[in-house]
A and B are shown apart, each in its own frame.
Chain A
Amino acid sequence: MGVRFDAVSKRFGDVVALADFSLEVEDGEFMVLLGPSGCGKTTALRILAGLEEPSGGDVYIDGRDVTILAPQDRDIAMVFQNYALYPHMSVYDNIAFGLRMRHIPRHELDRLVRDAASMLGLQDLLKRKPGQLSGGQRQRVALGRAIVRRPKAFLMDEPLSNLDAKLRAQTRIELIRLHRTLRTTAVYVTHDQVEAMTMGQRIAVMERGMLQQVGSPQDIYDRPANLFVAEFIGTPSMSFFRGPLRASGDQVAIDTPSISFALGPVQAAVARTAGVGEAIVGVRPEHIEWAATYGERAAAAAFDAQVDVVELLGNEIHATLLVDSRSIVARLDADQLVKPGSTERFTIAPAHLLLFDPATGRRLG
Chain B
Amino acid sequence: MTVAAARARRRSRQLRQLVAAAPFVLPSLALFCLFVFYPLLRSIWLGFHATDPFGRREVWVGIDQYRDVLTSSDFRHSLLVTGQFALYTVIGSTGLGLYLALLVHRRLPGIILFRTVFTSTVASSVAVSSVMWLLLLNPGVGVLNYVLGQGGVPGANWLTDPKWALPAIAMTTVWMNVGLATIVILAGLQNIPEELYESARVDGAGPWSQFVHVTLPALSPTLLFVSTVGVIFAFQSFGQIDILTKGGPLDSTTVIVYSIYREAFLHYNVGLASAQAVVLFVIVLLLTLVQFVAAQRWVFYR
CB interface residues, A 67-103, toward B, < 8 Å: 70-72, 76-78, 80-82, 84, 86-89, 97-98, 101-102
CB interface residues, A 145-183, toward B, < 8 Å: 145, 149
Q: Is B204 touching A77 in the complex (CB atoms < 8 A)?
A: no
- Partner of B198 from the list A51, A76, A86, A88 (CB cut-off 8 Å) is A51
Q: Is B193 touching A82 in the complex (CB atoms < 8 A)?
A: yes
Q: Is B199 touching A87 in the complex (CB atoms < 8 A)?
A: no
- Partner of B203 from the list A50, A51, A97, A131 (CB cut-off 8 Å) is A97
Residues of A whose CB lies within 8 Å of any CB of B are 49-51, 70-72, 76-78, 80-82, 84, 86-89, 97-98, 101-102, 131, 145, 149
Give Cα distance in the complex from A72 to B302, angstroms: 27
- Partner of B195 from the list A72, A82, A131, A149 (CB cut-off 8 Å) is A82
Given contacts A72-B201, A84-B198, A98-B202, 18 further A-B contacts (CB under 8 A): A50-B201, A51-B202, A72-B202, A77-B203, A80-B195, A80-B198, A86-B199, A87-B217, A87-B300, A87-B302, A88-B218, A88-B220, A88-B300, A89-B213, A97-B205, A98-B203, A98-B204, A145-B203
* B300 to A, closest residue via Cβ: A88
Determine whether B209 belongs to the interface, using a CB cutoff of 8 Å to chain A: yes
On chain B, which size bracket covers the interface?
A: 20 to 34
Q: What chain B residues lie within 8 Å of A101 (beta carbons)?
A: 203-205, 209
Give Cα distance in the complex from A98 to B204, angstroms: 6
* B209 to A, closest residue via Cβ: A101
Q: What chain A residues lie within 8 Å of B29 (beta carbons)?
A: none
Smallest CB–CB gap between B26 and chain A, Å? 40
Given that A97-B213, A131-B302 are contacting pairs, would A86 and B205 also be in contact in the complex, using a CB cutoff of 8 Å? no
Determine whether B62 belongs to the interface, using a CB cutoff of 8 Å to chain A: no
Q: What chain B residues lie within 8 Å of A78 (beta carbons)?
A: 198-199, 202
Q: What chain B residues lie within 8 Å of A76 (beta carbons)?
A: 202
Q: What chain A residues lie within 8 Å of B220 (beta carbons)?
A: 88
Q: Is A84 touching B300 in the complex (CB atoms < 8 A)?
A: no
Given that A80-B195, A131-B302 are contacting pairs, would A86 and B202 also be in contact in the complex, using a CB cutoff of 8 Å? no
Determine whether B196 belongs to the interface, using a CB cutoff of 8 Å to chain A: yes
The 8 closest A-B pairs by CB, nearest first: A101-B204, A98-B203, A84-B199, A84-B195, A88-B300, A88-B217, A72-B204, A71-B201
Given that A70-B201, A101-B203 are contacting pairs, would A86 and B213 also be in contact in the complex, using a CB cutoff of 8 Å? yes
Give Cα distance in the complex from A102 to B202, angstroms: 12
Given that A84-B193, A87-B302 are contacting pairs, would A71 and B202 also be in contact in the complex, using a CB cutoff of 8 Å? yes
Smallest CB–CB gap between B188 and chain A, Å? 14
Smallest CB–CB gap between A128 and chain B, Å? 14
Q: What chain A residues lie within 8 Å of B201 (beta carbons)?
A: 50-51, 70-72
Q: What chain A residues lie within 8 Å of B218 (beta carbons)?
A: 87-88
Q: What chain A residues lie within 8 Å of B199 (beta carbons)?
A: 78, 80, 84, 86, 145
Determine whether B53 belongs to the interface, using a CB cutoff of 8 Å to chain A: no
Q: Is B204 touching A84 in the complex (CB atoms < 8 A)?
A: no
Give Cα distance in the complex from A50 to B204, angstroms: 12
* A73 to B, closest residue via Cβ: B204
Smallest CB–CB gap between A94 and chain B, Å? 10
Smallest CB–CB gap between A149 and chain B, Å? 8
Give Cα distance in the complex from A78 to B205, angstroms: 14
Determine whether B206 belongs to the interface, using a CB cutoff of 8 Å to chain A: yes
Q: Is A72 touching B198 in the complex (CB atoms < 8 A)?
A: no
Smallest CB–CB gap between B96 and chain A, Å? 25
* A75 to B, closest residue via Cβ: B204
Most buried by A among B199, B201, B206: B199
Q: What chain B residues lie within 8 Å of A145 (beta carbons)?
A: 199, 203
